[in-house]
Structure 1
Amino acid sequence: MSLKNQQQQIHEIRSIVLEQYEKHPELYDSIDIEWIQNDDWPIEECIRSDKLLNNFKILNDGLLFRKQQRLPRLIETDFPAELFRIGFVHGNGKDYDGNELLFIRVKCYYKIRLREQIFRNFILFQMERCLHRSHGHGITMIVDFNGFSYANIDLDFIIWGAKLLTKFCPKSLKRIVCYDMSRIVIPFYNIFKRLLSDEIQQRLRFWNDDEIFKYIDRNNLPRYLGDESEMFECSKE
């Protein structure tokens, strides 16, 4: 798609969104509507083809989901401080390609029914922060399997994550890296992969041990993955 055609699509999609907001303001968050009015890149994230209505649907579904999850309204104090301290999900620097880094430490997750939604919202919250930092220029997600055990397995969570990525994954998420994935993970990874769209599957990568240093400077890694700086391992951003 040419730049001229893309700009035209952005203009038309924005107009349709604003029209829908006027008709059904209760379905959308005003923060998102202001974002759409002032920035092109959140709309660009949803342009996958030259089919205007398909691209609008991608954006609109995302806006409705964000409203349902209160995503634009989530703040740090909505979450237990220990989620930040243990570094369950956190951003940390950039890779050599200039992509923002988002780390998920699988060993920090346990299936606790009463806290299930908190865990999910925390992932959404940190992904949202990373997306805004990247401004549509690129994200690398590192799923760290160091220390993974059967206690960390939750099939409902795996299905939720796969569906989330398939339906709402931003175009700027360039790589989803499975780091140090042990053999016991493989059956659950296969379930996860089968639920992903072909487009998302193409973004999957596998890195082990020191291979990570080929793509990310040591100083841009958290301490538990080899950073030698004085940065705290798990602080709030």
Structure 2
Amino acid sequence: MTAPLTTEPLAFAEGEGLVCALTVDDGPSAEDTPALLDGLAARGVRAVFAVIGEQIQAPGGAALLRRIVAEGHVLCNHSTSFADMGAWDADAVRADMRRNLEIIREALGDPHADVPYWRAPNGSWGVTAQVAVELGMQPLAVVNVIFDWEDQDPELLSARLRDAMRPGEVVLVHDGPEGRAGTVEAVLRVIDERRAEGWRFTLPAARTVR
């Protein structure tokens, strides 16, 4: 990512027309991430995976993180846990972000692994956007959600995803912490539908002209 960092969370997708940037939060999950990665690989789709330190350190998590990177997906720091950081002071936020970067890079065996994005757990930003920019990460918007933490019916989630997937924007789904099989089914189904309609799946990007 070469655009200047901004504290305004990024909500756009790269490219023009029928494009969408898929972002995936709260994993990796040994239960559901493998099926999602299989499906994305079969379709040649890249995504941003916003990863949680606790999930990386869970059994199988580090191997999944390595697979995510090896298959060309992009990483986003999503904190060490699922804690709401909205009321934290800058020092506490900074310590957590740095610790999660350490967890990610230790799991990858690469002290310089690129983690270009930050996304606040629960969309509770507080001072996190400012600290993320200070640490070299672009905040990534929490927008176009499908509320897949409330329900895992694939038909319902497919309908929500069709509504949430807007041209030129980021869309948000979850592969963790567990029990996201309905999300995976919906994501792959809607990707197939939209590609048949001429959509492309890209990555987040800054946009100066709408």
User: Scaled by the length of structure 2, what TM-score is found?
Assistant: 0.37
Identify the structure with the greater helix proportion. 1
Structure ranking higher on relative contact order (CA contacts 8 Å, 6+ apart): 2
